Structure 1
Amino acid sequence: MAIIVNLDIMMAKRKMSLMELAERVGITNTNLSILKNNKAKAIRFSTLEAICRELECQPGDILEYRKDKEF
């Protein structure tokens, strides 16, 4: 997938655990882990907004576009 989630990097910069962020955002540890590990197929804007609010960052700090290799 061409969209890379750098949530783990922002969490490390803010010294915030997965469990703490999940609690603050109001989602399950499992769903946040799926997002953090680039396994998610979608994210709600409300969830992205809550993550950005809690990590004090911009969506571009978390989401990155990388062009897929062409075969």
Structure 2
Amino acid sequence: MAIIINLDVVMAQRKTSLKDLAKEVDITMANLSILKNNKAKAVRFSTLDAICKALHCQPGDILEYVESDEVPEEV
């Protein structure tokens, strides 16, 4: 099982930069970058709530479940 974080896609659709979103959500750019690059092991609901408010989206726009055999292996 794998949860994919599509934050980079939603940010691109909304034309929002990492710096602007980090400031609006009040999270460090380093932590937001971990989310954006799909490296996070967990996400607080409060952080997800703030991101969804800032980007005017639903959690399902950012989080996606895929079967393990569908996830490409990292090089």
TM surpasses 0.5: yes
TM-score range, shorter chain: over 0.9
Where does structure 2 lack aligned partners over 5 or more consecutive residues? Answer: 70-75
Q: Does 1:36 align with 2:36?
A: yes
- State the alpha-carbon separation in 2 of the partners of residues 32 and 18 from structure 1: 7
Tell me the amino acid that sits aligned with residue 56 of structure 1.
Answer: H
What is aligned with 1:56?
Answer: 56
- The CA RMSD over aligned residues, in Å, is 0.8
TM-score, normalised via structure 1 length: 0.94
* 1:11 alignment counterpart: 11
Question: Partners of 2:22 and 2:33 in 1: how far apart?
Answer: 9
Structure 1 segments (4+ residues) deviating >4 Å: none
Name stretches of at least 5 consecutive residues in structure 1 with no aligned partner.
none
Q: Distance in 2 between matches of 1:7 and 1:39?
A: 11
Number of residue pairs matched? 69
Q: Distance in 1 between matches of 2:64 and 2:53?
A: 18
Amino-acid identity (%): 70
Once residues 38 and 15 of structure 1 are traced to their aligned partners in structure 2, the CA distance between those partners, rounded to angstroms, is: 19
Q: TM-score, normalised by structure 2?
A: 0.89
Task: Tell me the amino acid that sits aligned with residue 20 of structure 1.
Answer: D
